[in-house]
Amino acid sequence: MSQIALAPGAGSAVWVAAAIRKLMSVVITLLGLLALTFIIGRVMPLDPVLSIVGPDADQSTYDQVYRQLGLDQPLLTQFWLYLKGLLQGDLGDAILTGNAVVADIVRVFPATLELASVAIVVGAVLGIPLGVFAATRQGRWQDQVVRVLSLVGYSTPIFWLGMMGLLVFYAWLNWVGGVGRIDLAFDGLVPRRSGMLLLDSALAGNWEAFRSTINHLLLPASILGLNSMAYIARMTRSFMLAQLSQEYVLTARVKGLSERQVVWRHAFRNILVQLLTIVALAYGNLLEGAVLIETVFAWPGFGRYLTDGLLLGDMNAVMGSVLVIGLIFIGLNLLSDALYRVLDPRTRPA
C-alpha cells in the first residue's frame, strides 16, 4: 500500500487554514448575534428616550435626545455606526448608569465570575462522582436516588430555591449571610484589585472580610452548584454507562483488575474529553444565566446588569452584555477544543 506524504510546509498550511476558518466562524457568529440583538432591541416596545428624559419631558427635549442617540438614522446606519465604535473598543454609554458600558462590565463581571466559579466547583465535585456512582449501580436503589436528585435539582425553579434557602438557612438557622456579597461593616474596606472579594480580601490579609465573603457566597453558590450538579451527574452517568458496556471493560475484569481500577483508571479516563465539554457549557451557563439568583440575593453582578438594561431598554448595555456572553461561550469552546487535543491524541492532525 502506498503512503501519501505531505509536502514540506503542508502541515503548517493546514494549521493556518484551520485557524483562519475558526476565526471567520467566530467573527460571523458574533456579527450574527449582535445583528439579531440589535434588531430585537429596536422592535421592543420600550423607548430608551423616555428612560432618559422621563415621561413629563416636552417634545423638543424628546426630539433632541432622540437625535443624539442616533435613532433618527436608518436601522442599517445605526448598526454600522455601532460596529465602527465597537472596532475602536467603544460599546457606548449606558443609560442605566451614565458610564461607559465597558467600564460597567469591568465593574460588575468579577462578582458573577466569583459566584459562577465557586458554583461550578461545587457542581463538578459533587456531580461527577455521583454520576459515576449511579452508573456502577445501574437499576439499583442507589441509581434511582441519584436520578431523582438530579431531576429535582435540574427542574426545581432556582429563584424558589434561593428564597427558601434564605428563609431556612439565613432567617431561621442563621448559618449563612444574607443578601449582598459582604457584611455592611466591611463594605468598601477591601481594596479592589480583581473585583473578586474572596481574592481581594485574601490579598489584603483581611481575614474577617474573607470569612464574611465566604458566609455570603456559600448559599447562592451552592444553589447554583446544585443546578449544575444535576446536569453534570446525569451526563456523567450516561457517558459511564456507554463505556461500562464496552468489551475492553469486560477484558479488564477478566484480567483480574479491581472494580475501582476498571471504573476510574479505564472507563472514567475515556469520558474525560466529553466531560470537559459538559463542564465548560455548564460554566458558561452559570456566567450568563445567574440572573435569578443575583436578583434574589441582591448580588451586584453581570446578570442583574443585563436584566436592568433589558427592562430599561438600554440597548448599549444589552448589546455589550450579549457580546461578552458570546465571547465567553466561544472562548470556552475554543478552550475545550484545545484540551481535546491534549487529552485525546486521536483528535490531533497527522
Q: What is the pLDDT of residue 4?
A: 47
**pLDDT tens string 88-118:** 888 888 887 888 889 999 999 999 999 999 9
- CA separation for the pair 254, 250 (Å, rounded): 6
- CA separation for the pair 318, 311 (Å, rounded): 10
For residue 218, pLDDT beyond 90: yes
DSSP state of 268: G
**pLDDT tens string 257-287:** 888 888 888 889 888 888 988 998 889 888 8
pTM for this one? 0.82
Q: Which residue has the higher pLDDT, 346 or 8?
A: 346
Q: Is 301 exposed, middle or buried (0-12, 13-18, 19+ CB in 10 A)?
A: buried
Grid cell of 136 as nine digits:
456502577
The residue behind cell 443578601 is 179
**pLDDT exceeding 90 applies to what percent of the chain?**
27
| Domain ranges (residues) in the chain | 27-87, 101-347
Using the Cα atoms of residue 74, residue 77, residue 82 and residue 85 in order, give the sign of their dihedral.
negative
Q: Is 179 exposed, middle or buried (0-12, 13-18, 19+ CB in 10 A)?
A: middle
Q: Which residue has the higher pLDDT, 75 or 47?
A: 75
Using the Cα atoms of residue 273, residue 124, residue 182 and residue 304 in order, give the sign of their dihedral.
positive
pLDDT band at 45 (very low <50, low <70, confident <90, very high): low
For residue 3, pLDDT beyond 70: no
CATH top-level class for 101-347?
mainly alpha
DSSP state of 295: H
**288 and 318 Cβ atoms separated by less than 8 Å:** no
Neighbours of 315 (CB within 10 A): 26
Q: Is 68 exposed, middle or buried (0-12, 13-18, 19+ CB in 10 A)?
A: exposed
**pLDDT tens string 152-188:** 888 888 889 999 999 999 999 889 888 889 888 888 8
**180, 192, 191, 195: which is closest to 110 by C-alpha?**
195
- CA separation for the pair 88, 238 (Å, rounded): 46
Grid cell of 11 as nine digits:
502541515
**196 and 110 Cβ atoms separated by less than 8 Å:** yes
Q: What is the pLDDT of residue 32?
A: 83
**180 and 299 Cβ atoms separated by less than 8 Å:** yes
Show the DSSP H helices in 69-196 as ranges. 75-87, 101-136, 141-155, 158-165
